[in-house]
Amino acid sequence: MKKRTRSILDELNRISESRNTEHFLETTGSNLIESAVNLLNVIQNHYPEETAIELERRFINSIRNGDSKKFKVGIKKVLDDKNNS
């Protein structure tokens, strides 16, 4: 009987873990998307159109390639250009 009890408890834990994972994915995904949309809005509102398009492109490519360096380089380039003007 103990073996059967453990099996039922294990199954209940697996269900809970599965639900938590789904909830985690949904919540985290929604939060990331909202943050990305807010960042893109900030970029559009604070930079000239040409610069904003370039930063948006770098941002999306950084996500696609899993490499944040491209976006950091873009921001640094914009700031350097702004300081040199």
Say how far apart CA 69 and CA 3 lie, in whole Å.
52
Q: Distance from CA of residue 42 to its chain's centroid?
A: 16
pLDDT score, position 1: 45
Return the structure tokens found at 73: 């380089």
CB-CB neighbours of 71 under 10 Å: 19
Say how far apart CA 15 and CA 18 lie, in whole Å.
5
Locus of tokens 């990305």: 36
* pTM (whole model) above 0.85: no
User: Domain locations in the chain?
Assistant: 47-85
Q: Print pLDDT tens along the chain (85 aa).
A: 455 556 777 776 776 666 677 777 888 889 999 999 999 999 999 999 998 999 999 999 999 999 998 889 988 988 788 778 7
pLDDT score, position 60: 93
